[in-house]
Amino acid sequence: MMIILLGYMASGKSAVSKLLGTVLEIPVLDLDDYIETKEGKTIPEIFETKGEIYFRMKEHSYLKEILETKESLIVSLGGGTPCYANNMKLIHEYTKQTFYLQTSIPEIINRVKGEKAKRPLISAIADEDLPEFIGKHLFERNAFYQDATHTIATDKKTIEVIVKQIETILD
């Protein structure tokens, strides 16, 4: 079984995938970590040295590589992954177990404020401009996120509660 977690930055994809993997006893793969290992650079370094287009091309090819293994895996995607290179269409060729972790703008802002340097898309955005930037970005990405088979609202929920919801859907 391949399970894909997607959503905007700070929606909890990495944390949820780790606990879900433990509970279901399925290996977990974070696509961003996989890319960093394969490229020998951090995501911010890739963006800075090679640019976003290069990153998105590599992201697509590594995603395809992972999906083609057809192994039982829980994969947490980068926030932009579903929005480029027909990645959602590609994912749905391999699995229907796709979960959009839907998080509100205020909750995202609350989660990212202290870690902007690690997030290339917002590292240069002033705190007061975050609501508009994130709102616009979410609006642009929403159609891709809505393509997921399942949607889980994450606001004010613990990781454990979110994992339980996913487990219930999978049963």
C-alpha distances (whole Å) from 88 to each of 5, 9, 52, 113, 120 are 12, 17, 19, 29, 22
| Dist. CA 127–CA 122, nearest whole Å | 9
Domain residue limits, the chain: 2-170
| Dist. CA 12–CA 104, nearest whole Å | 12
Among 10, 9, 30, 44, smallest CA distance to 120 is for 44
Helix (H, G, I), strand (E, B) or coil at 130: helix
Among 45, 52, 110, smallest CA distance to 81 is for 52
Contacts of 52 (CB under 8 A, 6+ apart): none
| Dist. CA 167–CA 15, nearest whole Å | 15
In a structure prediction context, what are the per-residue pLDDT tens digits for the chain, which is 171 residues long? 999 999 999 999 999 999 999 999 999 999 999 999 999 999 889 988 999 899 999 999 999 999 999 999 999 999 999 999 999 999 999 999 999 999 999 999 999 888 887 787 888 899 899 999 999 999 999 999 999 999 999 999 999 999 999 999 999
> What burial class does residue 64 get, using C-beta atoms within 10 Å of its C-beta: 0-12 exposed, 13-18 middle, 19+ buried?
middle
Site of tokens 């609501």: 131
Tokens at 117, concatenated: 């340097």
Paired with 101 in beta bridges are 152
Contacts of 8 (CB under 8 A, 6+ apart): 79, 103, 108, 134, 137, 138, 141, 145
The pLDDT, as a whole number, for residue 149 is 98
Tokens at 119, concatenated: 């997030």
Alpha helices in the chain (DSSP H): 13-24, 31-39, 43-50, 52-68, 87-94, 105-112, 130-145, 159-170
Fold designation for 2-170? Rossmann fold (3.40.50)
